[in-house]
Amino acid sequence: MTVDSVTRPLPDPFIVLATQNPCGSAGTQNLPESQLDRFMIRLTMGYPDPEDEAAILKAKSQKSSLPQVRTVMTAEHLKLLRNAADGVFVSDEIFDYIARLSAATRNDPRLELGVSPRGSLAVTAMAKSSAMFSGRNYVIPKDIENIYGDVCAHRVIPARIKGKVPDDSGVRDILESICGSVAAPKL
């Protein structure tokens, strides 16, 4: 990390998790696109279904949930997984596919701002992880299609369609449509 021309090392791994409340966020400001682009993925949780919400209520009414928090992975294990994902093979055809998908977002009239090169790098990294967790040491088009919305939805700016800006679901629909319109390589 560099602040005022002074570089300071960060721990490895270094992870930033951020939350955003869609309403009632007095005092908070939206991040500019250039900063949003630095987050690898954006997940939307939504509301729990009634059964899960009832379980949350039951658990919270009995005792604090903090004692139930437990370590699920050490920093060393995370580094091993990261290194394994880094070693996943990506063919030239897959690199080309990712680049064509990003170019398609930049030329789609439903989007004012398409996926940046940093976004393409994030798609590549997440596709490698997807392949690894699927038990493969190589990326296939399905790995890209599975993660594309989570990696790119916060990186694009939708255009107004009939006077309205699409919500997150609409943006994901646009990205899914783009994935369907760009020919995937036959591997």
Q: Please write the tens of the pLDDT for every residue from 19-52.
A: 766 665 565 667 777 777 777 787 777 788 999 9
pLDDT at position 18: 75
**Has residue 135 got a pLDDT over 90?**
yes
SS3 assignment for the chain: CEECCEECCCCCCCCCCCCCCCCCCCCCCCCCHHHHCCCCCCCCCCCCCHHHHHHHHHHHHHCCCHHHCCCCCCHHHHHHHHHHHHCCECCHHHHHHHHHHHHHHHCCCCEEECCCHHHHHHHHHHHHHHHHHCCCCECCHHHHHHHHHHHHCCCCEECCECCECCCHHHHHHHHHHHHHHCCCCCC
> pLDDT tens-digit profile of 51-77?
999 988 887 777 665 666 788 999 999
By CB atoms closer than 10 A (0-12, 13-18, 19+), residue 18 is exposed
β 2-3/111-113 pair status: unpaired
Q: What is the pLDDT of residue 60?
A: 78
Q: Residue 157 in contact with residue 33, Cβ under 8 Å?
A: yes
Residue whose tokens read 């890209």:
144
Burial label, 171 (beta-carbon count in 10 A; 0-12, 13-18, 19+): buried
Domain ranges of the chain: 7-187
Q: Which two tokens stand for residue 146?
A: 């599975």
Greater pLDDT, 131 or 62 = 131
pLDDT of residue 98: 98
143 pLDDT more than 80: yes
Are the C-beta atoms of 93 and 185 separated by less than 8 Å? Answer: yes
Architecture of domain 7-187: Orthogonal Bundle (1.10)
Asked if residue 119 has pLDDT above 80, the reply is yes
User: 13 preceded by cis ω (within 30°)?
Assistant: yes
pLDDT at 14: 86
Looking at every residue in the chain, the average pLDDT score rounds to 87
User: What pLDDT sits at residue 23?
Assistant: 63
| Residue 26, both tokens | 């007095």
Examine the pLDDT at 118 and tell me if it is beyond 90.
yes
Provide the pLDDT for residue 29: 66
Nearest 5°: phi and psi at 111?
-125, 135
What pLDDT is recorded for position 152?
Answer: 94
* pLDDT reported for residue 64: 63
